[in-house]
Every structure is written in C-alpha cells, then in structure tokens.
Amino acid sequence: MSEATPARSLFHESRRSFLLRKLHSLTGALPVGGFLLFHFWTNAKALQGQERFDAAVAEISHMPYLPVLEIGLVVLPLAFHALYGVKLVLEGKPNVGSYTFSRNWMYTLQRVTGVLAFAFIGFHLWSYWAQKWLGRMAPEEFYPRLCADMASTVGGVPVIALVYLFGIAASVFHFANGLWGFCFSWGITVSRRAQRMAAVVFGAVGLVVFLFGANTVIYFATGAPFPGTPGPAAEGGRTCADIASTSTGSTVPARASVGGGAGAGVGAPASH
C-alpha cells in the first residue's frame, strides 16, 4: 500500500506534466500563433495609409464581446503559454555542448526566442493595447504614434524600430519552429522524411511571415515599404510624411532624435 502510493503519485504527476505540455504546444500553435498572424495582417494595413489602418482598428474595436474575446482567446492563452514556457526554460538542460545535431540547437533557440518573444510582446501590448484600455491613447492615435516611435532615433540609431525587427524575428522563429514541434509531439509528422519536409515548409512560412511583419516596421521607420509593395501614395492614403508635415499642434508629436544624431525623422526617405 505504502509502495503503491508513491507510484500512483508519480503516475499522476507524469500525466499532469504530459497534459500541460500538450496544452502548451496547442496554445502556441493556435491562439497565440493565430494572434501573431492576425496582428501582422492588421498592422500591414498601415502600408495603405492611415485611413485603411484606422478602419481596420475600428472594425476590431467594434466587434461584439471584444473584451471577452481578447481575454479568452489572447490574454489567457498567451499568459499560460508564456509562464509555462518560462518553467520549461528553467527546468530544461540544453545539450548543444555535447551534441551538434540541428534539433538540439533548435530546442535551445526555441527556449531563448520564447523568452525574447515574451518580453517583446509584453512591451508592445503595454505600449499600445494597455494604453488604449487605460484611456491614455485613442485608437486613431495608433498610426501617428507608430510613425513617431519607429522613426525616432538615439544617437542616430532607430532603436525602437530595431527592437521591433529583432522582436518580430524572435517571435516568428518561435512560432515557426513551434509548429514543427507541434506536428512532432502530436504525431502528425512521424517519419524522418515527414519531419524534414515539415522543417522546410515551416522554415519557408517563417521567412515569409517575418518579411511581412518587417515590411510594416520598415515603412513606419523610413516612410517607404519594400520595393514592389503598393504604398499609401498609390492607395491615396495619409502617410507618415503627411503626419510629420502637420505635426505642429498634434496630440501625438513626432519624436526628435536623441543625442544629437541625424535621425531619420518621421517619413524620412527610405535607404533601401
């Protein structure tokens, strides 16, 4: 009896850990991954000008039961995935020093980018989403504030834009590599061949998603998207340059460069 109790306890602990890991994998692939893609898609409307961007934000803001949806489908899954991910990081023991197999490195990078993505998403949500709910920023202020923030410089370096590019890179890698892990742990890719194909497919998906998100950041920082992307001028929309030229008296002034650097400024021509 006394010997059975520890065994039963160990069984329940193992089962609980198994279920939590499955839930962690599921929340990363579906609600958190879906939020990431939806967020990139909405922000990409900025490439068509402030009017299109504001319309997309307003459409989301007027969704029925929005607070319930945000808490149930974004905040809670994101919080669980992040906190349990931190637990896995603290308990994990990387073995890249002993082995050089690519998946060992992917395992380590998955944990590192998870921490970076958690910090980045928290920073972004606090800077915009939380400010809206605290009544400190109206939705129509998002676009001019993004123009000002991304184009601001410290000693001539666009620090915030670089933070966003690195944050997006970490988030997208964590998402794409997490999809590979999801397919593996749920028995979707069983054979080595299927796993290799999944690595190629999700690697390509990650690259496309990163370029999609980076394009928006570069537009906000420089005033121009990647070559070949229809910009606000083509759509007849209000651009960051338009906002900069009328920033006097605005509630969201353009940020000047700090430290005497020759900052790009809002709406500065792209160097790409």
Domains, the chain: 26-245 (1.20.1300.10)
Confidence of residue 251 (pLDDT cuts 50, 70, 90): very low
Q: What digits encode the pLDDT tens for the residues 47-103?
A: 888 999 999 999 988 889 988 998 998 889 999 999 999 888 888 765 555 444 677
Tell me whether residue 124 is exposed, middle or buried, using C-beta atoms within 10 angstroms of its C-beta: 0 to 12, 13 to 18, 19 or more: middle
Q: Give the residue with greater pLDDT, 151 vs 267.
A: 151
Q: Place 250 in a pLDDT band, splitting at 50, 70 and 90.
A: very low
- Token duo for residue 59: 């459409």
| Token digits of residue 220 | 């906000």
Q: Provide the pLDDT confidence category of residue 5 given band limits of 50, 70 and 90.
A: low
Model confidence band, residue 231 (pLDDT cutoffs 50, 70, 90): low
CA dihedral 116, 46, 255, 233 (to 10 degrees): 140
Helices marked H in 92-224: 102-124, 130-133, 142-151, 159-185, 192-222
Helices (runs of H) and strands (runs of E) counted in the chain: 12, 0
pTM score, whole prediction: 0.81
The C-alpha torsion from 38 through 40 and 41 to 42, rounded to 10°, is 90
User: When comparing pLDDT for 251 and 81, which is higher?
Assistant: 81
Q: Note the pLDDT of residue 267.
A: 36
pLDDT computed for residue 32 by the predictor: 82
With bands split at pLDDT 50, 70 and 90, how would you rate the model's confidence at 224?
Answer: confident
